[in-house]
Amino acid sequence: MPVQFPPIILASKSLRRQELLTLMGLNFKVELKDVDESYPDGLSPAEIAVYISEKKAKAFTGDGEIVITADTIVALNNEILGKPTDRRHAQEMLKKLSGSKHEVFTGVTIVKGDKVHSFYDRTEVLCKAVTSEEIDFYIDNYQPFDKAGSYGIQDWWGIVVVERIEGSYTNVMGLPTEKLYNELLKFI
């Protein structure tokens, strides 16, 4: 690693975010705190992602450690597609994404002592049209119940259904790593 960062806490149970930080060569530990992820009406998808990320960050007080929190929002025509509550909900979301273009926003907050910085990234994702049978196959085999929008860009949906993205691939996974690295450099 060309840069030595102070100890990092990743406040996320997302295995994808953990994998991305590992691939970035960062040493970190995971700490979780329960945070209410509700948000006020009237916010744009980008504002929602940042708002929830900042809410998560406020639950932490560090002693020189860097804390990273994040929240990913999938938006289709400004409708927020969160994590599905059940199979039927996942089917509904994936049907909406089929044959359409949507946006993925990830809000990230970095905290070290009194210094707090938030930012977001936006990626546009175009999905080809899929059948109900393909949606059921995806749900049965990939269990996307912990993912915003009911899909993972790194699994079957991303490999077979996503036709094109404009923006950061890792942002769609849940953490815009290229932006995160540049922002972390400001904290050392």
Residue 2 scores a pLDDT above 80: no
- Residues with catalytic function: 71
Question: Do residues 67 and 57 touch, judged by C-beta distance below 8 A?
Answer: yes
Query: What is the CATH code for 8-187?
Result: 3.90.950.10
Give me the pLDDT at residue 62, please. Answer: 64
Q: Round to whole Å and give the CA distance between 181 and 44.
A: 25
Residue 1 scores a pLDDT above 60: no
**Contacts with 124 (C-beta within 8 Å, 6 or more apart), sequence order:** 101, 102, 103, 165, 166, 167
CA-closest candidate to residue 90, choices 77, 78, 103, 74: 74
Q: Round to whole Å and give the CA distance between 82 and 38.
A: 12
Question: Do residues 53 and 71 touch, judged by C-beta distance below 8 A?
Answer: yes
Q: Where are the domains of the chain?
A: 8-187
Residue indicated by tokens 């744009």: 44
CB atoms within 10 A of CB 19: 14
> For the segment 151-182, what is each residue's pLDDT rounded down to a tens digit?
999 999 999 999 999 999 999 999 999 999 99
C-alpha neighbours within 13 Å on the C-beta side of residue 170 = 19
